[in-house]
Structure 1
Amino acid sequence: MRVMIIAISGLITGLALIYSGVINVAASNPHSALTEWVLSTASDHSIRYHAKDIKAPSVDDRVMVLAGFHHYQEMCVGCHLAPGIESSEIRKGLMPTPPKLQEAAKEWTPAELFWVIKNGVKMTGMPAWGATHSDKKIWDIVAFVKQLPHMTAGQYKAMVVAAGPEHDDDE
């Protein structure tokens, strides 16, 4: 009986907090350490669980990397940055802050990156690109992202210049 009273009291308190509006959901307000840990841990384990049966193709193909660069430049660089790009307007307003893929790509397998790009991640701003991109295009993006940790700012800039003025961040 005591456990039931405690559970009901906790539920009522939780609902009162939710409906009161005192919980600040503003993206300009950082998460508490506990919230950050819960979201990060749940996300990491969910991605690994859901990607475990995905069979990744070889992502070392230069054609895939180049195709992936074009998609990355169009859709990803504003949030996830690139070698030589330290910040962006959109990134400054996102909570949680998106990972810098030049660093984070080392931690994820190609299958895990594929799953994230295809399915997105709830409550992070990461869209599910599978709604608009074929699996082949997503694997191209994965191929490029896996190259980011090995890429210098000069190498990235050379790719931007080679892609033409519509991809140049300096304009």
Structure 2
Amino acid sequence: MKALGTLFIAVLLAVVAALVFIYSGGYNVAANVPHAAATQTLLGIVMKNSVRAHARDIAVPELSPQMARAGAGHFREHCAQCHGAPGVKRSDIGQGMTPEPPDLAKKAQDWSSGELFWIVRNGIKMTGMPAWSPSHSDEEIWQTVAFVVRLPRMSASEYQDMAALGLAHEDEHERHDHDH
């Protein structure tokens, strides 16, 4: 019985200490101050496991070169500012984010295509990664994924060429939508 009482007091003290910490404002949430290593590790584990669990049953279509070309313009316009690209540094916005957005030319291969789709479609809370599903169709998101999976093998000149083709494709698509 004494052990149970001691355990209760220890839990109560831990809860009180957590509440004091939470309400004290002691944790610095400034974007220019990195998370503590333990916090970054814990958040990374939670994020990876959540994405993998939620993406597990996603059926991945064939990610054709045509899809990748269509996704290249979207990536250039909406993703490269934060993630950078082959031969392209992150913009001021991307450089000021915490956690730092991953360089997808180096990190895309860490995720399956289904996981990348889930991330682009749903976003990641508290990272600056928005959910693109409110403004983009699943087809457009798959096009972006088709492009992203090719980034690790892409040179800077290949990126520039493909992104220019992708922007031309987006402009043509927008003109077609406005005509109808």
Common fold, TM-score beyond 0.5? yes
CA–CA separation in structure 2 for the residues paired with 1:83 and 1:91: 15
In structure 1, the partner of 2:53 is: 49
Q: How does 1:46-85 map to 2 (within 5 A)?
A: 46-59=50-63, 61-85=64-88
CA–CA separation in structure 2 for the residues paired with 1:2 and 1:24: 33
For residue 43 of structure 2, the aligned residue among 10, 27, 39 is 39
SS, match of residue 38 in structure 2: helix
CA drift of 1:7 comes to 0.8
Q: Higher Cα Rg: structure 1 or 2?
A: 2
For residue 135 of structure 1, the aligned residue among 128, 138, 146 is 138
In structure 2, the partner of 1:108 is: 111
Q: How does 1:115-134 map to 2 (within 5 A)?
A: 115-134=118-137
CA RMSD of aligned residues (A): 1.4
In the alignment, structure 1 segments of 5+ residues that lack a partner are: none
CA–CA separation in structure 2 for the residues paired with 1:3 and 1:27: 38
SS, match of residue 58 in structure 1: coil
TM-score (norm 1): 0.91
Identity between Structure 1 and Structure 2 (%) = 43
For residue 98 of structure 1, the aligned residue among 92, 97, 101 is 101
Detail structure 1 runs of 4+ shifted over 3 Å in the superposition. 160-164
User: Is 1:159 matched up with 2:162?
Assistant: yes
In structure 2, the partner of 1:88 is: 91
In the alignment, structure 2 segments of 5+ residues that lack a partner are: 172-180
1:81-124 C-alpha deviation (Å, 9 max, x unpaired): 11001332111110000000011111111100000000111110
